[in-house]
Chain A
Amino acid sequence: MLSNASGEHSYAISGPGAGRAHSLVFTSLSKTYGGLRAVDDISLRIPGGEFLTLLGPSGSGKTTLLMMIAGFVQPTGGEIYVDDRRITDLPPEHRNFGMVFQGYALFPHMTVAENVTYPLRVRGISRAEAETKVRSALALVRLGGFEDRYPRQLSGGQQQRVAIARALVFNPDILLFDEPLGALDRQLRAEVQVELKALHRRLGTTFIYVTHDQEEALSMSDRVVIFNRGRIVQAGGPGELYERPKTRFVAEFLGTSNCIKGQLVEKAPDSCRIQIGQRQIVHAGRPSASTGEILLAIRPENLALSPTEPVGSPNRVQGKVLQAAYHGPTSQVLVETEIGPVTVMCLAQRTLAELAPEKPVWISWSPEASVLLSE
């Protein structure tokens, strides 16, 4: 909805190629509040034009990091660079970053048009030029015709678009978003996610996006940085993070995972055998250690549920259904097995009788489905 499908406008806002996308680098960036390390020694390089999402639980330091990028919070250690230019001490108004705040932070005493004109006015841009830019920014977020409304006369989704228009109307070097969709309902959120992604493609500007909604992070980003307690736990593309989590925290924070502990019993060049209780299973991977405890993660959707023993499968355990939850297209089934409780996701066509509590079932998976966790 943000993009203009008909393409009839000539945009005053820069599209791809109009301005160079800017990169951002942190080196050992830290912020401590008293004894609390809100952001703890973070080093990261964000190439120009990337859509980067900072994802983490509440209190993990995402907002603090974003506020340091924007210039509202002074780091207690480390440096920030934009294209090799050090900006650590630069006041916010000289950074030329557009920011969409949590709760939008529109100026309540200004109309939509005045809100969007504000960054141009403080830059001393001529009235005529500003008018063209504001019109195309509002067209870009599909808010033409709302110029004279006050923020309180707009819905949450519309206010959010004004905030976006205001943040990009002055061609900022980087766009920052702090949980911009938090206040929207589920359907609108999904809609705006698609729009933001399209906007990113069209502008080619570097986007840094904070959220604690994992679906949002996975569906929109080029790269996701997972945060916990002020530190980066893992960074990578959405698929990589989901399919190859390195730690138990990532495996469980992104979607659901079944984490299973076992003992390494045999190591082959490209696979290994792991003892779990009375069972031995095969994992298609090579742990670095040669003996000892092993932690594996298996996604619920990679487990197969069957009423009879799947004899052909190398990894199979027996159990009984504890409970099944119907989720529309899929069902989530909790199964008590000999290796502990396991969550299985299966297509909902299966008859409910088959998933009734106490029903004996078999669970199986391929050796490639499991992921080795470091901790």
Chain B
Amino acid sequence: MNTIAAKQYQQKTHPRMRFPTSAWLLVLPLILVLGVLYAGPIASVLWLSVTDPSPGLGNYERLLTSDALQRVLWSTFRISALTTLFATLLGYLIAYTMLHASARHRHWIMAFVLVPFWVSVLVRAFAWLTLLRTEGVLNTALVSSGIITTPLDLVRNEIGVLIGMVHYMIPYAVLPLYANMQGIDRRILNASRSLGASPWTTFIRVFLPLSAPGVAAAALLVFVLALGFLVTPAILGGGRVVMIAEYVRVQIMQTVRWGVGTMMASVLLITVVFLLAAMSRVVDIRKLFGAK
């Protein structure tokens, strides 16, 4: 019985789907469009980063020597990590609440989560600016009600950038988390209770581990998106917080140093590819984002 079971339950291999030639013909136009609009520009960015102004890895060397570049990389990483932390945490709370809410409440929460999706990132950034700046709605209310005497510095710094980015990212955290949590079998949680575990123990020992793939998906998605943020840090950071995307923009549009700009863009691209590759070793990324 032992050996039979072992044979029967050896790692199941997923059969690769065979793609007939006719199917390739059908997707050919798409491949062409992608090639021209996507792969081409990326290749030229990578090319420029090792050829402009002179061929070689000179641009990449700057990563080791330039303080300014290192500061940009560090603040990009720090802000993205903090954004990931807060957005995933808040997203977890929202998804968990949705899971336990009545159907009607769930729809309302989902609507509030999704509405910002349809509001332009620019509009959202300016809305936060209006709310948070020194003479803004929040500070005015706090000062006039006497809770504080001097206005809080909530924008044109990292706090402002974080608030804006976390807000932007919450839907991206909620959706994979909620999808994952919905897939957790209620009977498994009931089993835990019937075996003598309190609701809290059940959450810690059973629900939390089972929702870990959702957390990983949400965190990865948020982090990857956060790395490339441009508008929100530019507006809410007030020029004092420079992340990679903003730096690249300045290099290319203002100082016209294509080599450095494309090098930083390439660094971003390579980082994201590596992150996804590393994650895919740990979890099935396609399953993580609900593919197939």
CB atoms of B194 and A153 under 8 A apart: no
CB atoms of A118 and B192 under 8 A apart: yes
Q: Does B210 contact A (CB under 8 A)?
A: yes
Which residues of B lie under 8 Å from residue A153 when comparing CB positions?
9
Which residues of A lie under 8 Å from residue B185 when comparing CB positions?
103, 105
Of the stretches A78-86, A89-97, A128-136, the one at the interface is A89-97
In the assembled complex, the Cα of A50 lies from the Cα of B187 at a distance in Å of 26
CB atoms of B194 and A170 under 8 A apart: no
Which residues of B lie under 8 Å from residue A96 when comparing CB positions?
196
Q: Which of the four size classes fits the interface of chain B? A: 20 to 34
Which residues of B lie under 8 Å from residue A145 when comparing CB positions?
2
Digitize B194-229: 1 where CB-to-A-CB distance is under 8 Å, 0 elsewhere: 111110010001100110000000000000000000
Please name 20 further chain A to chain B contacts, defined as beta carbons within 8 Å, in addition to the given A71-B194, A106-B191, sorted by A numbering. Answer: A70-B194, A92-B190, A92-B194, A93-B193, A93-B197, A95-B194, A96-B196, A98-B194, A98-B195, A99-B191, A99-B194, A101-B187, A105-B191, A107-B192, A119-B196, A122-B197, A155-B5, A155-B8, A155-B9, A166-B195
Chain A minimum-CB-distance residue to B2: A145
CB atoms of B5 and A102 under 8 A apart: no
Which residues of B lie under 8 Å from residue A101 when comparing CB positions?
187, 190-191
Q: Does A158 contact B (CB under 8 A)?
A: yes
CB atoms of B188 and A102 under 8 A apart: no
Which residues of A lie under 8 Å from residue B192 when comparing CB positions?
107, 118
Please tell me the number of chain A residues within 8 Å of chain B, measured between CB atoms: 33
A102 contact from B9, B187, B195, B210, Cβ within 8 A: B187
Q: Does A350 contact B (CB under 8 A)?
A: no
Shortest CB distance B192–A (Å):
7
B13-68 contacts to A, CB under 8 A, are none
Chain A minimum-CB-distance residue to B189: A105
Interface centre among A70, A95, A107, A176 (most CB of B within 10 A): A107
Interface centre among B8, B190, B196, B198 (most CB of A within 10 A): B196
In the assembled complex, the Cα of A96 lies from the Cα of B8 at a distance in Å of 36
Question: With contacts A105-B187, A105-B188, A109-B209 known, is A118 near B195, CB below 8 A?
Answer: yes
CB atoms of A93 and B210 under 8 A apart: no
A154 contact from B9, B187, B196, B197, Cβ within 8 A: B9
Which residues of A lie under 8 Å from residue B8 when comparing CB positions?
155
Q: List 13 A-B contacts (CB under 8 A).
A: A96-B196, A99-B191, A103-B185, A103-B187, A105-B185, A107-B206, A109-B209, A119-B195, A153-B9, A154-B5, A155-B8, A166-B191, A166-B195
CB atoms of B188 and A107 under 8 A apart: yes
Q: Does A326 contact B (CB under 8 A)?
A: no
Digitize A251-264: 1 where CB-to-B-CB distance is under 8 Å, 0 elsewhere: 00000000000000
Question: With contacts A103-B185, A105-B190 known, is A122 near B210, CB below 8 A?
Answer: no
Q: Does A17 contact B (CB under 8 A)?
A: no
B194 contact from A97, A102, A154, Cβ within 8 A: A97
In the assembled complex, the Cα of A123 lies from the Cα of B187 at a distance in Å of 20
Chain A minimum-CB-distance residue to B190: A72
CB atoms of B5 and A72 under 8 A apart: no
Shortest CB distance A154–B (Å):
7
Which residues of B lie under 8 Å from residue A158 when comparing CB positions?
5
Shortest CB distance A115–B (Å):
9
Q: Does A328 contact B (CB under 8 A)?
A: no
Q: Does A108 contact B (CB under 8 A)?
A: yes
Which residues of A lie under 8 Å from residue B188 when comparing CB positions?
105-108
CB atoms of A108 and B210 under 8 A apart: yes
Chain B minimum-CB-distance residue to A169: B195
Which residues of A lie under 8 Å from residue B206 when comparing CB positions?
107
In the assembled complex, the Cα of A118 lies from the Cα of B202 at a distance in Å of 11
Shortest CB distance B188–A (Å):
5
Question: With contacts A101-B187, A109-B209 known, is A93 near B194, CB below 8 A?
Answer: yes
In the assembled complex, the Cα of A167 lies from the Cα of B196 at a distance in Å of 10
A93 contact from B9, B187, B196, B205, Cβ within 8 A: B196
Question: With contacts A105-B185, A107-B188, A109-B209 known, is A92 near B5, CB below 8 A?
Answer: no
